[in-house]
Copies of this chain bind each other. A is one copy, B any other.
Amino acid sequence: MLPSETPSESPALRADAEKNRRRLLTAAREVFAEHGLDVTLDDIARHAGLGVGTAYRRFPNKRVLIDELLVEQLTTMRDIARAQLDAQDPIAGIRGYVQEVVALQVADRSLKQVMFASDRGQKRVEEARAGLGPAVTALVDRAHDARLLRDDVLASDVAMITLMLSVVVDFGRGYEPELYRRYLEWLIAGILRDGPATGQPPIAMECFHSAMLTFKMGAAPKPQR
């Protein structure tokens, strides 16, 4: 099912090696979910009950392992967006997409980092990331066609809403995991045709993409030496 689970390597691995490869992938998913992407391969190996050496032999470096899983998660999110195209109410579709994606973040700390990662990855990761945008745009277009949204609303608004709610999830983690639902309603109300007037237009899509490239959650570029 999952592409990363197939023993795709050319020289078939020995049975025990293949088993350990999967254990590493599973362990990585769990550790990423609990602690985010900023964990060491050593952490993952320990959680899998294996030695570091095993981890590094199987995956040349940490990025390869991470990228393996990023593709998985980005695909999941794209599928969520596509599924919401079938919602009867286009607005419910948008709300449903945001709600489901943010709900996933409650259980998985790495998801936010995956969506808003600035570091370019492998080709496969970029392809997967590129698939998410159009799916969200389709949701927004559908709501526009039904004349439910204010004219200036763009897909970037949905992305920004997701981003804002991500921080709420992070903030309330361990205390109020569902807090984001409160602000979700306020923000969804904002995009509606009869929502509150705003002088400020949304960020243009090209501009949004540029910003994505330089954005790093809660970090600033260091001063040049």
Contact = CB atoms under 8 A, between A and B. Distances in A.
A47 B175 CA distance: 41
Contacts of A157: 182
A49 interface: no
A78 interface: no
A62 interface: no
Copies in the complex: 2
Helix, strand, loop or mixed for chain A's interface?
helix
Interface in A166-225: 166-168, 170-176, 178-183, 185-191, 195-203, 207, 210-211, 214-223
A198 B170 contact: no
A39 interface: yes
A222 B163 contact: no
A5 interface: no
Interface stretch (A10-18, A30-38, A81-89, A134-142): A30-38
A43 interface: yes
A130 interface: no
Nearest to A188: B196
Nearest to A44: B223
A107 interface: no
11 contacts: A160-B168, A164-B164, A170-B215, A174-B211, A175-B210, A176-B207, A185-B196, A186-B195, A186-B196, A189-B189, A217-B218
Interface of A: 31, 34-36, 38-39, 43, 47, 109, 112, 157, 160-161, 163-168, 170-176, 178-183, 185-191, 195-203, 207, 210-211, 214-223
Given A163-B167, A164-B183, A174-B214, 7 more contacts: A36-B220, A109-B220, A181-B199, A183-B190, A185-B196, A189-B189, A189-B196
